[in-house]
Amino acid sequence: MDFKSRFDLDGRVALVTGGASGLGLAMAEAVASAGAKVVIADLDGEAAANLAETFLKKGFLASAQTVNIAQAGAAADLVTTIVAEHGKLDIAFANAGISGGPGPFTEAGNLETSSAERWQQVLDVNLTGVFATIQAAAGPMRAQRWGRIIVTASSAGFRADPMVGYSYVATKAAVINLVKQAAIDLARFNVMVNAIAPGPFRTNIGGGRMHDAETEQQFAQSLPLGRVGTPEEIGGAALLLASEASSFITGAIIPVDGGAIAW
């Protein structure tokens, strides 16, 4: 058997929400390097367009869309546009997400100070936006009886984490069961639904907290590996779950977390 060919995405069309930076960028590059046509969708349309241009210069196939995934109907409109332009949608990374702010390890993140407004904003993006993306992507995938949906969960969805906000741990716990529910629903259509659960990574979520050496060290000390992740380290799991190599994997939550949930 040619195992290498099972990771080949030549001819596939992939969507990555929140794809212009951080883990989304790494996911987009991973599948683009395997041959997929990648649609980089992001609230920052200029950054998405610049990344698509960079990918094209590398010989990848890429385009950009501006989207606020928290807006009602935005995910459905995005998928409609992709199918109109490319004829199909094979792979969808529901990656767009925002920080819940500091956790209860600081006074700014305890129960008394947690913001109701921020709570709703995080739910709108991290949970409702993810559900809308899954729901929209499932349509063309059901019709063609092949699809891969990959959700960005978090190690914070498995356990309490005093380093991150209430809304973040709540939404990430919720999407874990959302993935399992959708996996059951879509299995008969040969659509695999899985999640990647990152631990602490050096990205710009939360306003670039990992650029603060002290904060990064706090996160690093919470991990068996003793360091935070770098975005390119998410690419292997992304490529696996986007490809034919995951043909018997659905409803799985794959930690890429430096051992965070192994404690």
Q: Does 168 participate in catalysis according to the annotation? A: yes
Residue 3 token pair: 């195992």
Q: What are phi and psi of 76, to 5 degrees?
A: -65, -45
Secondary structure (DSSP) of 164-193: B-HHHHHHHHHHHHHHHHHHHHHGGGTEEE
Q: What angle do CA 57, 54, 41 make, to 5 degrees?
A: 130
The 3-state DSSP class for residue 92 equals: strand
242 vs 41: CA distance, rounded Å: 17
Instruction: Give the separation between CA 78 and CA 67, rounded to whole angstroms.
Output: 7
Q: Where are the beta strands (DSSP E) in 130-252?
A: 147-152, 191-198
The 10 Å CB-count burial string (b at 16+, else e) for 191-205 is: bbbbbbbbbbbbbeb
State the catalytic residue, choosing from 146, 166, 168, 219: 168
Residue numbers annotated as active site: 168
